[in-house]
A and B are shown apart, each in its own frame.
Chain A
Amino acid sequence: MKKDDYMDLDFSDIEAHFPLDRREFIKLFGGGIVILVSLTDAEALLQQRRRRFRPELPEDFNAFLRIGEDGRVSCFTGKVELGQGIITSLAQMLADELEVSLDSVDMVMGDTDLCPWDMGTFGSMSTRFFGPPLREAAAKARAVLMELAAEHLQTPLSKLKAKDGVIFDKTQNKNQVTYAQLTKGKKIAKKLERKATLKPLSEFTIIGKPVSRTDAAEKVTGKAVFAGDIRLPGMLYARILRPPSHGAKIKSVDTSAAEKIKEVRVVKDEDFIAVLHKHPDEAEKALSKVKAQYDLPEAKVDDKTIFDHLLKVAPERETVAQGGNLQTGEKLSAHIVEETYLNSYVAHAPTETHTAIAKIEGNKATVWASTQRPFGAKEEVAEALGFPSKDVRIIPPFVGGGFGGKNQNRQAVEAARLAKLTGKPVQVAWTRAEEFFYDTFRPAAVVKIKSGIKDTGKIFLWDYTVYFAGERGSQQFYDIPHHRTASTGGGWRGTPGSHPFGTGAWRAPSNNTNTFARESQIDIMALRAGIDPLEFRLKNLKDKRMIGVLTTAAEKFGWTKSKAGNGRGYGISLGIDSGTYVAHMAEVEVDKKGAVQVKRVVCAQDMGLVINPEGAKMQMEGCITMGLGYALTEEIRFKGGEIFDLNFDTYEIPRFSWLPKIETVLIDAKDSPHQGGGEPAIICMGAVVANAIYDAVGARLFQLPMTPERIRAEMP
């Protein structure tokens, strides 16, 4: 894979929920890129698409930071804190480049009135793509402050040094001035006439150091504010009438019983029916009194038939990558392995359900929302209210997990509509059932692979097609002369008519499905060749970074030749996501009933320069543990548009007792740019467990999740 191949950033899957006409385009992204709009050739269109989702961030560093009179520094970012820890790592970047202490930085995140535009917090892009401009802004600000200090202290620049928000004369320490004295709480008006230089690695004092979460104290005391914790005078809690299944049409509704309850308000706006009360549980009670009848659509698919359905409706496949000639590859191969892999729908299930509170004052709407896409929410709310988007402000407080699920802002729109309809501030907090029902699941998907090896154990053929998962992570990275990778199904959103309900990006979208299929297939070939899976991979790899993570993991794990059949087994899986390389090894125990306990997982990760090693390890551990869920139990059962799993009683997510011993290793790769860290370590969890299960009991699993029932069915 080419170094700069950011296939994982396929923004075509991120819908712009608002029409971008030329005028808005200019307004949104500034005048500098207007010419792109009038160009029509392919390259320009591609550029336009990229820019649309990676617009030029403001040139002016004041958009990113403000130094207060008290010397505290506010850092403005359109990114949101969902648990991934950028509240800490972005502050580290700013503090290091600006030369202030980490505790003097206050993060202002995602507030659409205060922060620079941002596409959203997903795709492990915060440190990769927001990091560099943030560092540059801080470096520029530092350079300007140095110039101001030179004037103020009447000292040549060359004699000055900045540290902890103070600029001093290196020859005479007392001759000094603080940032706060220079800026007096105002915007820095001075422009930098030269290019600011970023600090070299050797001068980092905060970047690269393990730092504890800066939000921990708030979160252990209950002080951290989430959207549902906001209290406004006169606010009402809403519960909204929901259909029993996707696609159901309301026939009749009777709200009279609910209306009789004291202090309950019932709002009807066509199909949008809500009951409101000043206490959420009372609103809930009132909703249960609303009687509605629906026309239900015919259920055409369920969780068993979905895969055939998907294969049937799949549009023509598109080639993602290819090389050599497949026929030649097939001829040269001594063994051909042809397999099909399946992956069920998986829910995001963040611990905090979608929540929003909206207030409309005069012609201005303010919505506090748990969202990964505040700027998207702003446009969606504006459209729903008929407001110009400048009159909508979205403020995301702390967000209680997202994993891609909170890219959808339906609840923010609902709260805003109800605030408009009632004239009161309104909170909408979804129940767990609503959260499951309206989730945009990780799509059910199919992968078909035909591959071939020579007797030497060298892979010669790789013909790969992924249906409906999306192409992120579909490209193989082994050294295979004849290969083709194709994708179909419109990415994780699917094509119209393909999925019976919403689907979307789920932590490391596409890649979990693709890595499960690829790395299972690799193990099957290794077995055919009679070669140990570690050795087989090393034989077929040329990519140095991949070899690096693999050998590191093997050493840490103490990989010895695997042996099948004793109830204990070892597995390997490799992958690339968001520019980051990962290698996993796992040990599992499988009992006669097919129940799996993962005993130990080792993960080596090469993510380039690591901003916060402590934060990176936390994410790796989280990925590994969360990933056990889709590997072993997580699966949405449904019939047509009706979802059967609506709470954690039947939808089983990982728990304390599942916890394996986890060991993480970060590769020292300071010289390469920092890559994503919130997602990569989850992509291997399907295959590493599948391969270990095979090693343990000889059962080869072709479908995720690998439930005891499915394992028993494959046991020899």
Chain B
Amino acid sequence: MRETISFKLNDKPTRLTLDGERMLLWALRSELSLTGTKFGCGEGCCGVCTVLVNNEAVRSCQFPVKDVKGKEVITIEGLANNGNFHPLQKAFIKHNALQCGFCTPGMILNAYSLLLKNPQPTHKEILQGMEENLCRCASYARIVMAIKTAAKEMKRGGNR
């Protein structure tokens, strides 16, 4: 059923008229041409489509767009603040925590939500919190380092 859905997207009020049962991933990628959010498996298995809805990491390929009504969505495009990279973005660059980069937006946003809930995670908690995000290039070791670095940076107050 077509409906009009209003929500906040990367700090901007946004309104879409579409079938609310469609998945958020496609609303972002094809209705709004925000292509930083990737498609990897379409079945909730890989996490490359991860975005934040009210600061919670969700899999946009499984998330009906009607469920963002009145909420706040952040995609990778909206993470930097006025061109200032988020500590996670800086740490990913610093540690070369990526290869092909296809999983990177999802990794960063999942880590963001993890650090919100648990600002100083242990090594094990990072592994657990990131477990469902897959990286075929297997940059895992460096992603863990980047998350640790970002956590330290954010503790020092460099939240954005």
Contacts and interface: CB of A to CB of B under 8 A. Distances in A.
A557 B34 CA distance: 47
A416 B158 CA distance: 48
A219 B126 CA distance: 21
B36 interface: yes
Given A222-B37, A647-B45, A657 B131 contact: yes
Contacts of A81: 100
Contacts of B22: 279, 281-282
A284 B98 CA distance: 31
A429 to B, nearest CB: 7
A351 B141 contact: no
B99 A222 contact: no
B100 A649 contact: no
Given A228-B35, A352-B102, A618-B142, A220 B134 contact: no
A120 B93 CA distance: 28
Interface in A374-401: 398-401
B42 A432 contact: yes
A222 B96 CA distance: 16
A351 B96 contact: no
Nearest to A349: B136
A237 B31 CA distance: 13
Contacts of A659: 127, 140-141, 144
B48 A351 contact: yes
Interface in A559-582: none
A401 B137 contact: yes
Contacts of B77: 221-223
Nearest to A650: B45
B26 A280 contact: yes
B82 interface: no
A662 B40 contact: no
Interface string B24-51: 0010011101111111111101101000
B38 A352 contact: yes
Contacts of A622: 99, 137-139
Given A216-B96, A401-B136, A614-B96, A662 B141 contact: yes
Interface in B89-131: 89, 92-94, 96, 98-105, 108, 126-128, 130-131
B5 interface: no
A213 B98 contact: yes
A437 to B, nearest CB: 14
A621 interface: yes
Interface in A603-642: 614, 618, 621-626
Interface string A656-673: 111100100000000000
A612 B25 CA distance: 37
A653 B80 CA distance: 31
Given A351-B136, A621-B141, A221 B92 contact: no
A649 B76 CA distance: 25
Q: Give the one of A223, A237, A281, A351 with max B CB within 10 A.
A: A351
A401 B100 contact: yes
Contacts of A614: 96
B41 A618 contact: no
Nearest to A88: B96
A229 interface: yes
A221 B29 CA distance: 15
B23 interface: yes
B89 A220 contact: yes
B100 A222 contact: no
A357 to B, nearest CB: 12
Nearest to A85: B99
Given A83-B99, A350-B100, A351-B46, A228 B39 contact: yes
B57 interface: no
A514 B141 CA distance: 27
B77 to A, nearest CB: 5
Nearest to A655: B131
Contact of A399 (B23, B37, B43, B100): B100
Interface residues on A, range: 35 or more
A648 B23 contact: no
B138 A217 contact: no
Which of the listed residues B42, B100, B126, B142 has the most CB atoms from chain A within 10 Å of its own CB? B100
A677 to B, nearest CB: 12
Contacts of B33: 231
Interface in A211-260: 212-213, 215-226, 228-229, 231, 237
B75 A222 contact: yes
Nearest to B43: A647
A431 interface: yes
Contacts of A280: 26, 29-30
Interface string A477-488: 000000000000
Contacts of A222: 34-37, 75-77, 105
Nearest to A400: B102
Contacts of B98: 83, 213, 216, 219-220
A216 B92 contact: yes
Contacts of B31: 279
B88 to A, nearest CB: 8
A138 B120 CA distance: 48
A236 to B, nearest CB: 11
A82 interface: yes
Contact of A653 (B26, B94, B136): B136
Nearest to B89: A220
Nearest to B86: A220
A552 B35 CA distance: 45
B89 A221 contact: yes
Contacts of A282: 22
A625 B45 contact: no
B17 to A, nearest CB: 13
Contacts of A224: 101
Contact of A351 (B29, B76, B127, B134): B134
A282 B98 CA distance: 32
A356 to B, nearest CB: 14
A237 B144 contact: no
Contacts of B102: 83, 226, 350-352, 400-401
B58 interface: no
B78 to A, nearest CB: 9
Contacts of A217: 85, 93
8 smallest beta-carbon distances between A and B, as pairs: A222-B36, A83-B100, A219-B101, A400-B102, A83-B99, A625-B138, A222-B76, A229-B35
Given A84-B99, A226-B102, A618-B139, 20 more contacts: A82-B100, A83-B99, A83-B101, A215-B101, A216-B96, A217-B93, A220-B88, A220-B89, A224-B101, A225-B35, A279-B26, A280-B30, A351-B46, A352-B38, A401-B99, A625-B141, A626-B137, A626-B138, A648-B134, A656-B131
6 contacts: A81-B100, A85-B99, A212-B94, A216-B101, A226-B102, A622-B137
